[in-house]
Structure 1
């Protein structure tokens, strides 16, 4: 069961209690109180003990529908970091096998895509949505979540950002193609092929960010409340 860490801390502080006092009043250990206030995960017995101290029902301590409650553990964080490193390593290996890594580096394309992404986010969700998007990246590193309306909001935001990335890449491709074809008479065959390859980099960046970060996040947030 997930309890609202904010609600529990507020109730304790309103009484002027330390974690030690709450532990003594509830009959739980100080370590248990610290753990519950840190990650919100509590057994039914611990929930009942704490609720009785505050003369509340156990349901009143549960995370409300608009909060995202997360069980952060070192093991879970490390597992997700390793998974991201594996994905990054696989992409890097393909890049090395395919051609020189320098061909995949284009600062202008990357900067355009990031600016387009967050400009579109601000237009659609406001500056609040942009900051929520950045702060929500931390959920890549956990699995045990209880979502509610905040999770639904972030899921919609990240799903939209996938579209923004591909939309920005499409615009970049069109502009690049017009520029290449508009100067085709000045290119030698090799230069034309090189320019065409560079033109695809913006799509490559969009795919990496969308499929490696934003789509996994949106799926995780969409399914967090239905995991068994």
Structure 2
């Protein structure tokens, strides 16, 4: 078995034990403890001895792989695709019931929100982080993942992108309302309210992307290693 070196060292230090004390507590040799804390490799018997000392299940001492391992199956992909289509269909239905569907399509917003999102991502996580976030969208279509540190990193990116989306929407709202109130004397009531509705489209886009894609994906990646 491969144990988490950092986890083992942390548990030992929390108790204030040296490697020699841990060796006596487990009945293992000091050399065995040193080797395990060096390369993480331990036999089943050694793992059981160490786990019993810390009153933990042996599995909790295992190292989490860095790479994201995914079990891609047709059934899993179709299930998650179906869920995504239901969410999209519900949003489209609501927009049609609310107004003409074309009302919700604004070219400026469609251009600004993605540009702001990925520009902010580059500033926060670098170009590599941006490309990882784009490639990671495929994990929407699976539930069977073992993630490790890379999954946690991606989760942090998507959690941050939720903030970037709302930030971009807030900027558009602020600019739009400043422009509207600056020229409020020239507006008729109908024109003013229509301009207000168009101004809110940025918040609509940000909410749909954040709550329909990025936040669920962030949660999925953050919890993939602790599913029972």
The answer, yes or no, to whether TM exceeds 0.5 is: yes
CA–CA distance in 1 between the matches of 2:109 and 2:130?
A: 20
Q: CA deviation at 1:194?
A: 0.2
Partner residue, 2:112: 112
Whether the aligned pair in 2 keeps the contact of 1:120 and 1:164 (CA below 8 Å) is yes
Structure 2 partner of 1:52 = none
- Do structure 1's residue 146 and structure 2's residue 150 form an aligned pair? no
Kept in 2: contact 1:63–1:69 (CA 8 A):
no
Which ranges in structure 2 are unaligned for 5 or more consecutive residues? 1-61
Q: Structure 2 CA distance, aligned partners of 1:137 and 1:63? A: 26
Structure whose alpha-carbon radius of gyration is higher: 2
Alignment of 1:5-154 (within 5 A): 65-154=65-154
Moved over 2 A (4+): 62-65
**Structure 1 match to 2:225:** 225
CA distance in 1, matches of 2:225, 2:149: 11
Q: Deviations over 1:117-168 (max 9, x none)?
A: 0000000000000000000000000000001000010000000000000000
Partner deviation per Cα, 1:34-85 (whole Å, 9 max, x = no partner): xxxxxxxxxxxxxxxxxxxxxxxxxxxx996211000000000000000000
SS at match of 1:226: coil
Question: TM-score, normalization: structure 2?
Answer: 0.72
Please list every run of 5 or more consecutive structure 1 residues that lacks an aligned counterpart in the other structure: 1-61
- For residues 175 and 150 of structure 1, the distance between their equivalents in structure 2, rounded to whole angstroms, comes to 37
Q: 2 CA distance for matches of 1:159 and 1:206?
A: 13
Aligned to 2:214: 214
Q: How far apart in 1 are the matches of 2:100 and 2:213?
A: 25
Paired position in structure 1 for 2:15: none
What secondary structure does 2:196 align onto? Answer: helix
| CA distance in 2: counterparts of 1:194 and 1:206, whole angstroms | 20
Alpha-carbon distance in structure 1 between the residues aligned to 2:110 and 2:210: 13
In structure 1, the partner of 2:168 is 168
Q: Deviations over 1:71-111 (max 9, x none)?
A: 00000000000000000000011011111111100010121
Q: Secondary structure at the match of 1:143?
A: coil
